[in-house]
Amino acid sequence: MSEHWLQIPEWSWNHPEENQPTYVHQWVQQLKKLKTAPEMILYGAPISRSSISVSGASLYPSEFRRAWKGFATYNLDENVDLVQFKVADAGDVAMHTTDILLSHQRIQETTAYLAKHYPKTITCMIGGDHSTTACAVRGIKEAYLNETIGILQLDTHLDVRDPKELGPANGTPIRQLIDGKIVEGQHVINIGLHGYFNARPLIDYANEHNIGMVTLKQARKEGLINTIKGALEKLSAKVDRIYVTVDMDVLDISVAPGVPASTPGGMTSIELFDSLLEIGKHPAVRHVDFVCLDPSKDSAVAETVKTGVYAWLQFVTGCISQTK
Amino acid sequence: MSEHWLQIPEWSWNHPEENQPTYVHQWVQQLKKLKTAPEMILYGAPISRSSISVSGASLYPSEFRRAWKGFATYNLDENVDLVQFKVADAGDVAMHTTDILLSHQRIQETTAYLAKHYPKTITCMIGGDHSTTACAVRGIKEAYLNETIGILQLDTHLDVRDPKELGPANGTPIRQLIDGKIVEGQHVINIGLHGYFNARPLIDYANEHNIGMVTLKQARKEGLINTIKGALEKLSAKVDRIYVTVDMDVLDISVAPGVPASTPGGMTSIELFDSLLEIGKHPAVRHVDFVCLDPSKDSAVAETVKTGVYAWLQFVTGCISQTK
Amino acid sequence: MSEHWLQIPEWSWNHPEENQPTYVHQWVQQLKKLKTAPEMILYGAPISRSSISVSGASLYPSEFRRAWKGFATYNLDENVDLVQFKVADAGDVAMHTTDILLSHQRIQETTAYLAKHYPKTITCMIGGDHSTTACAVRGIKEAYLNETIGILQLDTHLDVRDPKELGPANGTPIRQLIDGKIVEGQHVINIGLHGYFNARPLIDYANEHNIGMVTLKQARKEGLINTIKGALEKLSAKVDRIYVTVDMDVLDISVAPGVPASTPGGMTSIELFDSLLEIGKHPAVRHVDFVCLDPSKDSAVAETVKTGVYAWLQFVTGCISQTK
Amino acid sequence: MSEHWLQIPEWSWNHPEENQPTYVHQWVQQLKKLKTAPEMILYGAPISRSSISVSGASLYPSEFRRAWKGFATYNLDENVDLVQFKVADAGDVAMHTTDILLSHQRIQETTAYLAKHYPKTITCMIGGDHSTTACAVRGIKEAYLNETIGILQLDTHLDVRDPKELGPANGTPIRQLIDGKIVEGQHVINIGLHGYFNARPLIDYANEHNIGMVTLKQARKEGLINTIKGALEKLSAKVDRIYVTVDMDVLDISVAPGVPASTPGGMTSIELFDSLLEIGKHPAVRHVDFVCLDPSKDSAVAETVKTGVYAWLQFVTGCISQTK
Amino acid sequence: MSEHWLQIPEWSWNHPEENQPTYVHQWVQQLKKLKTAPEMILYGAPISRSSISVSGASLYPSEFRRAWKGFATYNLDENVDLVQFKVADAGDVAMHTTDILLSHQRIQETTAYLAKHYPKTITCMIGGDHSTTACAVRGIKEAYLNETIGILQLDTHLDVRDPKELGPANGTPIRQLIDGKIVEGQHVINIGLHGYFNARPLIDYANEHNIGMVTLKQARKEGLINTIKGALEKLSAKVDRIYVTVDMDVLDISVAPGVPASTPGGMTSIELFDSLLEIGKHPAVRHVDFVCLDPSKDSAVAETVKTGVYAWLQFVTGCISQTK
Amino acid sequence: MSEHWLQIPEWSWNHPEENQPTYVHQWVQQLKKLKTAPEMILYGAPISRSSISVSGASLYPSEFRRAWKGFATYNLDENVDLVQFKVADAGDVAMHTTDILLSHQRIQETTAYLAKHYPKTITCMIGGDHSTTACAVRGIKEAYLNETIGILQLDTHLDVRDPKELGPANGTPIRQLIDGKIVEGQHVINIGLHGYFNARPLIDYANEHNIGMVTLKQARKEGLINTIKGALEKLSAKVDRIYVTVDMDVLDISVAPGVPASTPGGMTSIELFDSLLEIGKHPAVRHVDFVCLDPSKDSAVAETVKTGVYAWLQFVTGCISQTK
């Protein structure tokens, strides 16, 4: 029973009895205590020992929840109060100290459990490194065997390195899913690629499998939001549900000190925020994850973690207009 | 006699005898030594123990003056040499070690003194935290009892938290002034609001008191400079003088490590510089302050302090065309 | 024999035997081992004790080469594989520990040697501080006595301080070249100037010598790429070869922590990347340098060094279309 | 009713149901939930806006409690398991945002409350800056009006600056108590003084009031532990109860990055640990505080906060042998 | 064939042709190139994904070798030139990206290979986290099945957490070896224990298995060197060979910022240096490792890595007198 | 006239009119304003471009003077008020931007000037890097041609690298003086040597020239203070005056983050303080310098700079008992 693996973080619910929440930690509720399905479930997948280079992304779920206390529930730009939308925190998937495969299996099982038991609920996984995406998508496939899953990926990298060589490391999730017949290459679109960060063999693999590649430069030329919309339309015409994976290294290195794999030439935070607002609006988008943010590398004012919370809230704001 | 409280910072005038100043510290003169009124007076209000969270903004006036040695007086973008414009430094208001109310009183008295004795001079206060703005505006009111004061606020936050609960803390200045009948809510316009950083009750207060709220998103859509111009026109049609308060947390967190309250999604430094150039040009603008910059949190190369000096020089450049 | 001064950095060629290079360190070859002239030669000029303020820019050549291991040879934005273009690393010019003039002489001799022996090859010098530019241009003049050299400078500063006062320091290279009759002032165009970072006497010197000054604000108004193109056309109509010098302090301080002289209001990294792509395309551009980046001041994730490598690769990408 | 001011920190009791605690956070209990008086009560006084220079010592109580999760209850050096000793956490005294006098009053009232209601219990206050010590001692005096209080102070400074000049700032507590007739100068002994950190007038004051001053150099010559023992004997012969105040700036600057007022030439952490073990053993010691540690200045591995927890546990270990 | 896993680090031999080495990198030779067995073999075990908390100890072997360039071969304190002692670097054991068990197996096989093929050579493993010690000792047991192995452990922790719960994590090596019947508890002596960093159940385990526990306090009382000597005598009377494992967290947190698990109250660097000099002298000591140093957490001047190199050289100095 | 080169630092005399100085900056006077010779003259030699590796030691004189504001004039350990001893600040020797030889010449001339004009005054030079010592000693020789000069050096390094190879770099001063016949090798004693930081050829040079080498280990065995006393006796028996040079890299790396060349195994700050107290007491000691401290590398709380000021004050305290 995969629910078993969910651990409740000790500090996330300060004032569960609060009648009129005005801050995020007062608004997000504990899944266990809810009697009806929420509109969104959040869960953490705190693993990063599967990362190719040293990473503390396993620390992100708890820092994410700690940082959200600094955010009000009111979105001033859109004049929307998020409290109308029910979000529940399921806690973190319990990771084994050294058994990576077992930890990955638990993420898959937990995601499958949540997807099955809350079919109308949007799931949001907070990683952990990018290896967790392969687990989560497999879990969703397990829950919806007859459905076709598409992936919208915001990422500087293709993440199609060979798991036969590296094992289920954070450079491999998309290839795991394609080689494993969980997702077809033609149902994957990556927006945010740029520069010199994908070796030729990886591009060859992507081309062979018809992965959609949109460079940031192209996207900016056509308008990033138009590009996002176009990608969602293209995917939703072909698949039953869209999984969105946000590798935080899509951000420019100057705004993301807490993502060691981020590079110059990446997205601005405003571009990411606008993208996620748009993504949240699309009804085919049922799952999202945010991965590869290492809080131990972040700046003293936790700039990247705050950007991560903000990005997620933009997605939530988008979802609200989706549900309307 | 409030002039009493002005302390002369030891290091600000290196070369008072210099004939042709080329750097800022050679150009700014000591108020005490001037025989005629300057066109602008600068003074520091080094207090931050009134800040809700720990802040070293009290250190800003001296770091501001230290950093200005790195700036030439020649503005290459506008082909303007600032030396034509007389700026005097009045020093810092002497703060009491622990008596916040007394310190605030001294800021008010000093501002009133300067406003009365130099009626044609633009005043520029370097904070300190945002609590100082309430003191300064009260001081100006004291000097110009029959005039109506408008406020143009560049800020991520409304700063209308309740002084009855917090005392005269840095989250409360606008509310202090409105509740205290010094300024009307309809004479306050805040540009720079964005995201999730104002709890609903504060927005309700702002709406009840007709505070003008312009989000950064709206401003960018309409053009930030057009928005600034429009706000100044709107205010100047209704008030006698405009007080401009620049909470440095209006800047995006990626360009303002030295402003712990800054957030993702804020202004770029170029946007702030362009805004202040425009603001300086408007004849109704008679007072400005720059607050909430904590140099002890700044990056190793003093990025935020340098941005603060630059912003102020843009305002000065604007004033020069105002005086022409 | 100036070739004598070139020292081979120990670590730059990991896999010289590699057949299909996919990363930069596998692609760049050792000059000594080549039998035919490459299309570009790279060499380091690791000196910064000639810098006015304390600088560790002497450490840049080795950090540059270490960082390029993180870059693939495939440029996704332009769909170009750099491996088609032969780049050789000549190593670093050997610097004397304390004799600055001797070190400068060696840079000049080495540049002259490379320019003479590889007449069809583009040279790329990695500084060191900006004093190295004067040495390199003198070396090129030595190799091409009958040719007129133009300079395209991307810089926040004019670098025309007086060598009679400072010696051959990093604030003086352009003036060294003009006063030394190596380059005419009218054949120098500086793009990237902004703000308050050039004292009036320097601007006067520039005007007297007809140095082309384009502020970043102007350039952005007309389109930065158009401005770059226009400058290159203007120069190439008058000179035989163009030397491009990139003072990394042209970058905004928020994206260049590793350039202590960088300022607010500078170029974004995207602007620099686009500029260098365009510059590389122009056939009159035969020489480039990148100077004043101090890796010892860089952020923990080596943000500025990575930006430096990226900028250089953009120039290479431009060169490839030039050679087509 | 001063109990009113105690706020329960949300995260301090992870496993209240745990039967056999092995870590500190499992062992320390919540005062509210206890039916009988514990042997020690811990409470926080999170104020530092009363500090002369900028301080984040207000953040210490929560960081102290967070850090104790890294400590086991077993003291290997003394072969003592702390779980035999009942320690309760009363939470933090609620501070007003800007009213320093009111906040100080609440610390005094809370301390008086605890001292009265738990007469057999040792109290341990976690500051906060050193101004809190004056409040706490006044509170104890309020509870035990007929008793004479002695102070053993471990401090680099005398802290006898004039409250008439500074208000109740962190440089004044000992003088507040002496001038306020709460404690006699001859009942104060300061161990840890050294170097050049007390201006002559302060030494004159100390001499006039017969404050015991033992420099670290003297103490080391006689043996620090012997000196501590001697001081406790001397005090206990004259007073009814001893209050121990540990200004963490007594530590050498090389082991206390998180205490900005620490200096070269101070105590090693081993010396502090040995001292507190000895101090805890003395039956006249009924109250202790630890002040002036600013976690926001601490090293990345929280070296100073960990040293603070360790020091407190040494005191607890000492108390256990006291109770035996 | 476990030799297969050894990768040669590219940068360790700068001047292999050097006749008279004066720096460490000139003296240490490449194992592959030697024709006769050296007196010491060094090899890296760069794994830390087996660490309980996030660790970059996998980066230590390469930083260790980079830092040794700053050390001369001449030991001034002992007037010994190390060049008389032949040390060879075998390179690093090749780690799998995600398969921890496979990586551990390779460390074991490589160690067994080296122990078998170089029976008279002292082996020195540079970790990696403490999980590598279990692998190395098993490898040695594999090579010397009939010999009894003793362990001298310098460590703040017992490292006897349960591998059944955590897998082969860095908290478990000693227990792996005892439960696995590779080493007897009575043949393990740990010197350096102190404070509150071992939970009671771990101490119970140690007592049940007769692990020798000597606290730093006891050792200092008896003299640390005497204690070390005594422990070596005691062990060598009972075992055939002694394996020394140095967990760098035995160092005090103030001298070891690069060891996140280090604590206040630990060894000084001088104490560690003296200990290793003594340890190296004992003829029964045939193997040593240095583990758990994470260079990514080290100070800007690489204080901890330098301390690590120094400590190793002290051991080498000791070995020289052993071989005499 | 070498007095010409002395520049007055702007900020060092805050309150020249102060009657009863209690802080260092109130006590030290400006040399120019004195009518009679002081007992000690302080001057800065702000050069570090002569350093082998990148150094910001040129920034030390100004940071030294800034930091002394945090020190009272009363030495509590010795019960001595420094104000009885007249110390004057002569300012900094004006350095040329790029001409190292010229800068060195100015240091020599200035030192000669001060030594000649103030024959009874102790001189104290604040470096700069260690190359300045050679200049200063030559200056003193120039002033006292017939006197024999001895050097007591506290240093981790011998600093006898070959100036023929490196020029007058910071690794060469002692050899410059010996090869230049200014000082005899037998009149140099270095205390503080340890570990692996002097290559064999340097030790050979030292032995050939009979430089006295006392390792820290030896000194500690015999008592550091005894060793210092012995060295001073030995020297004073043979020379007319003793020059003391304190390379701050003699300190252990854990207490001297601001001295990049410091190493593990060095002096504690207490040892340095005690040494300087003793040194100051000896009547033959007429000159001292403190070199190689780079404030730009120091910790956030300026630990090393504070240690530098403290060390100097200990020397002053010693001098006071010398003059008694």
Mean pLDDT for F202-230 is: 98
Cα Rg of chain C, angstroms: 18
> Is residue C195 domain-resident?
yes
Closest residue, chain A, to C277 (C-alpha) = A195
The rounded distance, in Å, linking the Cα atoms of B243 and B124 is 10
Best E7, E8, E10 residue to mutate vs chain C (most C CBs within 10 Å): E10
Question: Which is higher by pLDDT, C11 or A219?
Answer: A219
Least confident of B302-316, C171-185, E6-20, F55-69: E6-20
* A77: nearest Cα among A314, A323, A324, A316: A314
pLDDT tens-place string over residues B254-264: 999 999 899 99
Q: Which residues have a Cβ under 8 Å from the Cβ of E202 and sit 6 or more positions away?
A: E158, E160, E161
Q: Which residues on chain F are in Cβ contact (under 8 Å) with D199?
A: 22-23, 72-74
> Is residue B1 domain-resident?
no
Provide the 10 A C-beta neighbour count for residue F178. 23
Q: Do B11 and F10 touch (CB under 8 A)?
A: yes
Closest residue, chain B, to F301 (C-alpha) = B296
Nearest-neighbour CA in chain F from D8: distance (Å) = 33
Confidence category of residue F276, pLDDT binned at 50, 70, 90: very high
Residue A231 sits in a domain whose CATH number is: 3.40.800.10
The rounded distance, in Å, linking the Cα atoms of C30 and F20 is 69
Provide the 10 A C-beta neighbour count for residue A17. 7
Q: Do A307 and B264 touch (CB under 8 A)?
A: yes
pLDDT tens-place string over residues E39-57: 999 999 999 999 999 999 9
Strand stretches in chain E, DSSP E: 6-7, 29-30, 40-45, 74-75, 80-81, 87-93, 122-127, 149-154, 188-193, 212-215, 241-247, 285-291
Mean pLDDT for E162-188 is: 97
Confidence at residue F9, expressed as pLDDT on a 0 to 100 scale: 62
Mean pLDDT for B172-191 is: 98
> Is pLDDT above 70 for C141?
yes
Confidence at residue B43, expressed as pLDDT on a 0 to 100 scale: 97
D14 touches chain A (CB under 8 A): yes
Q: Do E11 and C10 touch (CB under 8 A)?
A: yes
> Is residue E1 domain-resident?
no
> Is pLDDT above 80 for B20?
no
Cβ burial, residue D7 (10 Å; 0-12/13-18/19+): middle
Cα Rg of chain B, angstroms: 18
Q: Which of residues 165-204 of D touch F (CB under 8 A)?
A: 193-201, 203
Q: Which residues have a Cβ under 8 Å from the Cβ of D65 and sit 6 or more positions away?
A: D9, D11, D12, D25, D89
> Is residue C1 domain-resident?
no
The rounded distance, in Å, linking the Cα atoms of C46 and F172 is 22
Region of A91 please: left (phi>0), alpha (psi -120 to 50) or beta.
left
Interface pTM (ipTM) of the complex?
0.94
Q: DSSP letter at A302?
A: -
> Is residue F129 domain-resident?
yes
Residue B204 in tokens: 């309700």
Measured in degrees and rounded to the nearest 5, phi and psi for residue F258 equal -85, 10
Confidence category of residue C324, pLDDT binned at 50, 70, 90: low
Mean pLDDT for B221-241 is: 98
Confidence at residue B35, expressed as pLDDT on a 0 to 100 scale: 93
The rounded distance, in Å, linking the Cα atoms of A308 and A246 is 10
Mean pLDDT for B129-152 is: 98
Confidence at residue F2, expressed as pLDDT on a 0 to 100 scale: 64
C14 touches chain E (CB under 8 A): yes
* D54: nearest Cα among D296, D265, D304: D296
A270 touches chain B (CB under 8 A): yes
> Is pLDDT above 70 for E193?
yes
* C103: nearest Cα among C46, C59, C65: C46
Confidence category of residue D21, pLDDT binned at 50, 70, 90: confident
Residue F264 in tokens: 């593990």
Residue E215 in tokens: 């606290």
Nearest-neighbour CA in chain A from E245: distance (Å) = 22
Residue F17 in tokens: 């009119």
Confidence category of residue C2, pLDDT binned at 50, 70, 90: low
Confidence at residue F5, expressed as pLDDT on a 0 to 100 scale: 76
The rounded mean pLDDT for chain F is 94
Query: Half-sphere exposure of D96 toward its Cβ, with a 13 Å CA cutoff?
Result: 18
Cβ burial, residue B191 (10 Å; 0-12/13-18/19+): buried
> Is pLDDT above 60 for C1?
no
Closest residue, chain F, to E70 (C-alpha) = F197
* SS3 state at A75: strand
* SS3 state at E157: coil
The residue written with tokens 């020029």 in the block is F167
Q: Do B97 and D169 touch (CB under 8 A)?
A: yes
Confidence at residue C16, expressed as pLDDT on a 0 to 100 scale: 47
Q: Give the ranges where chain F is alpha helix by DSSP (H).
A: 24-27, 60-67, 100-117, 131-143, 163-166, 173-179, 200-208, 216-222, 224-238, 269-281, 303-323
B14 touches chain F (CB under 8 A): yes
From residue D96, how far is each of B53, B317, D52, D106, E62 by CA, in Å? 12, 42, 18, 9, 53
> Is residue A1 domain-resident?
no
Q: How far is CA F46 from the centre of its chain?
A: 13
Mean pLDDT for E114-128 is: 97
Q: Which residues on chain F are in Cβ contact (under 8 Å) with C99?
A: 167
Q: What is the mean pLDDT of each run of 10 residues along chain A (324 residues)?
A: 64 52 93 94 97 97 95 96 96 96 97 97 98 98 97 98 97 98 98 97 98 98 98 98 98 96 97 98 98 96 97 98 70
Looking at chain D, the whole-number percentage of residues with pLDDT higher than 70 is: 94
Best D82, D270, D305 residue to mutate vs chain E (most E CBs within 10 Å): D270
Torsion of CA F29, F35, F36, F39, to 10 degrees: 10
Strand A80-81 relative to strand A74-75, pairing: antiparallel
Strand E87-93 relative to strand E29-30, pairing: parallel
pLDDT tens-place string over residues B267-283: 999 999 999 999 999 99
H-run or E-run covering A173:
helix A173-179
* SS3 state at A214: strand
Confidence at residue C60, expressed as pLDDT on a 0 to 100 scale: 97
Least confident of A115-124, E24-33, F182-191: E24-33
Are B203 and B158 contacting, i.e. CB atoms less than 8 angstroms apart?
Answer: yes
Torsion of CA A175, A177, A183, A186, to 10 degrees: 0
Confidence at residue F11, expressed as pLDDT on a 0 to 100 scale: 45
DSSP string, C180-229: TTSS-GGGEEEEEE-TT-S-HHHHHHHHHTT-EEEEHHHHHHH-HHHHHH
Q: List the domain range (segments joined by +) for residue E103.
A: 6-323
Confidence at residue E2, expressed as pLDDT on a 0 to 100 scale: 63
Looking at chain C, the whole-number percentage of residues with pLDDT higher than 70 is: 94
Number of domains, chain F: 1
Q: Which amino acid belongs to residue F108?
A: Q
**Length of chain E in terms of residues written:** 324
The rounded distance, in Å, linking the Cα atoms of B178 and B137 is 11
A264 touches chain C (CB under 8 A): yes
Q: Give the ranges where D31-172 is alpha helix by DSSP (H).
A: 60-67, 100-117, 131-143, 163-166
Strand D241-247 relative to strand D149-154, pairing: parallel
> Is residue F1 domain-resident?
no
> Is residue D1 domain-resident?
no
The rounded mean pLDDT for chain B is 94
Confidence at residue D9, expressed as pLDDT on a 0 to 100 scale: 60
Q: Which amino acid belongs to residue A10?
A: E
pLDDT tens-place string over residues F118-162: 999 999 999 999 999 999 999 999 999 999 999 999 999 999 999
**Reported pTM:** 0.96
Confidence at residue B322, expressed as pLDDT on a 0 to 100 scale: 73
Touch criterion met for C and F (3+ Cβ pairs within 8 Å): yes
Are E57 and E291 contacting, i.e. CB atoms less than 8 angstroms apart?
Answer: yes
Confidence at residue E323, expressed as pLDDT on a 0 to 100 scale: 63
